[in-house]
Structure formats: structure tokens, C-alpha cells
């Protein structure tokens, strides 16, 4: 295995974050703080407890998931799209690195950045609410699996995209609406039928529900179902990535 190759890609991608610290870390922290001020303090003060938890605390897992998904996707998709766009991808294609090594480098870095961001948001949240985490290990498992799976998804997106519009269309028009409609800021029990049933077709519901369980031991679907869903999604993405590199789709002619 080309360990030096993996490390080179990983360090290169992490260095990119250092250069864009405001965009990568500061902006999400400010946005999260605004969510707490608007939803937690202003609107939340007028909402009774949700499933026995204060509204401010209830939205924490949803906020973490929102940031994990969007940043995993954007980090990984940009990481592979940008070399394609400027032409430096020739170097990776001509290097002695396998598909697995490329994925470990790019997806590893994107997932690392997303996890770091998730932890920063968790710390930010602790300034606004009295944070309780019932199952910290399971919380990390959910955060890691989500970060890795959606970084893989972002990587696929970055290979598929051949312009900046395509790069942003899926996160903006698909992922963000799914997160908002996946119970991030409310319990789906609060929805009337048939929206409650329809919500069960939203994959993000399973992620948010699983993460919320690790915090407060409350969930809208079973924890095992949440774990299974994310594992299936992760392996599906791995399969697609393998196929893309095997065929050279949009990389090798």
C-alpha cells in the first residue's frame, strides 16, 4: 500500500482547510450560534418541551447532522473536483496510487474535517444549553459513519460534476431540504398525516434519529435501523466509487 501517497493527499486536503479557516470553521460556528439564538432562544422559548427535552437541546443533534452532511459533501466533492477543474488531476492519475488509496486520502480528509466541525458545533452548543450525552461512544459512531458515508457521496458528486453548478445543485436542492424535513428541528410526531408516513422515506430521518438517541435516548425509528441504513448507504457509495475508478468515469478517457 502507498502509505506516503495516502498521507500526501490527506495532508494536502487538510492544509486547504487551514488556508480557508474562516470559511471552513468560523462560518459554520457563527451560523450554528444564530440557529440557537433564533430557534433556541427566540422561538424555542415559546415552544414547550419536545419529547421531554427543551427545544434548544432537542435541535442540537439536528444541527450537528446538518453541518456534518453539508460539509462532508462539500469538502469531498470540492477536493476531487478542483484538481479536475484546474487540470492537476493528471498527477494523481499518473501516480502509483490505487482507488482505495485515493479514496482514503480524499474521503479521510473530508470526513476528518466534518468530524472536527461536528465537535466544534457540539462545544458551541454547550455555551447555549445544558448538554447531556447519554451514549458518547454511540454518538461518535454515528458522527463518524455519517461523515465517512457522506464524504464518499461528495466524492462521487465531485467526479460526476463537470461544472460548479452541478457541484452545488445536489447539496442545495436535495441534501439541505432532506435535512430540514428529516426531523432536525422538530419531532415527526408533530406532523399531520400523511407527512408523518412520507417522512419515513427520508433517509436523513434515520441519521438524525440515531444521533438524537445517542444524546437523549429518544428516537423516532429504532437505533439498529438507523445504523443499518447508514451502513448500507456507506457500502453503496463505496461500490459506486470503485466502479467509477475501475471504468475511469470522467477521469480517464
Q: How far is CA 200 from the centre of its chain?
A: 19
Cβ nearer to other proteins, comparing 46 with 252: 252
Closest distance of CB 86 from other proteins, Å? 6
Q: Which of 26, 72, 44, 52 is nearest to 185 (CA)?
A: 44
Distance of closest approach, residue 109 Cβ to other proteins, in angstroms: 13
Any idea of the CA torsion for 191, 195, 198, 200, to the nearest 10 degrees? 0
Binding site for other proteins (CB under 8 A): 2, 4-5, 7-9, 11-12, 15-16, 19, 86-88, 90-98, 248, 252-253
Shortest gap between Cβ of 124 and other proteins (angstroms)? 28
Nearer Cβ to other proteins, position 21 or 225? 21
Does 194 sit behind a cis peptide bond, omega within 30 degrees of 0 on the bond before it? yes
Q: Which residue, 90 or 243, is less far from other proteins as judged by CB?
A: 90
Element (H, E) at 44: none
How far apart are alpha carbons 32 and 125 in whole angstroms? 8
CB of 7 or CB of 131, closer to other proteins: 7
- Minimum Å gap between C-beta 89 and other proteins is 8
**Closest listed residue to residue 144, CA positions, set 176, 118, 182:** 118
Between 235 and 249, CB nearer to other proteins: 249
CB of 34 to other proteins, least distance (A): 29
What is the distance between the alpha carbons of residues 245 and 231, in angstroms, rounded to a whole number? 21
Amino acid at each position: 500500500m502507498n502509505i506516503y501517497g495516502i498521507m500526501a493527499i490527506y495532508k494536502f486536503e487538510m492544509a486547504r482547510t487551514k488556508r480557508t479557516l474562516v470559511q471552513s470553521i468560523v462560518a459554520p460556528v457563527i451560523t450554528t450560534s444564530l440557529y440557537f439564538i433564533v430557534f433556541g432562544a427566540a422561538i424555542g422559548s415559546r415552544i414547550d418541551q419536545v419529547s421531554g427535552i427543551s427545544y434548544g437541546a432537542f435541535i442540537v443533534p439536528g444541527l450537528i447532522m446538518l453541518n456534518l452532511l453539508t460539509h462532508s459533501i462539500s469538502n469531498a466533492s470540492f477536493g476531487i473536483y478542483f484538481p479536475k477543474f484546474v487540470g492537476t488531476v493528471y498527477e494523481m492519475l499518473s501516480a502509483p496510487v490505487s482507488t482505495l488509496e485515493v479514496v482514503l486520502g480524499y474521503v479521510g480528509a473530508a470526513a476528518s474535517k466534518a468530524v472536527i466541525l461536528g465537535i466544534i458545533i457540539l462545544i458551541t452548543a454547550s455555551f447555549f444549553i445544558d448538554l447531556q450525552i447519554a451514549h458518547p461512544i454511540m454518538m461518535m459512531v454515528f458522527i463518524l459513519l455519517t461523515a465517512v458515508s457522506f464524504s464518499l457521496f461528495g466524492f462521487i458528486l465531485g467526479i460526476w460534476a463537470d461544472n460548479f453548478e452541478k457541484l452545488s445543485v445536489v447539496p442545495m436542492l436535495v441534501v439541505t431540504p432532506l435535512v430540514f424535513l428529516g426531523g432536525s428541528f422538530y419531532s415527526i410526531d408533530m406532523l399531520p398525516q400523511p407527512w408523518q408516513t412520507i417522512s419515513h422515506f427520508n433517509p436523513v430521518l434515520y441519521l438524525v434519529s440515531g444521533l438524537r438517541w445517542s444524546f437523549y435516548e429518544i428516537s423516532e425509528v429504532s437505533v439498529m435501523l438507523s445504523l443499518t441504513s447508514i451502513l448500507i448507504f456507506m457500502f453503496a457509495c463505496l461500490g459506486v466509487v470503485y466502479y467509477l475508478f475501475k471504468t475511469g468515469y470522467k477521469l480517464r478517457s
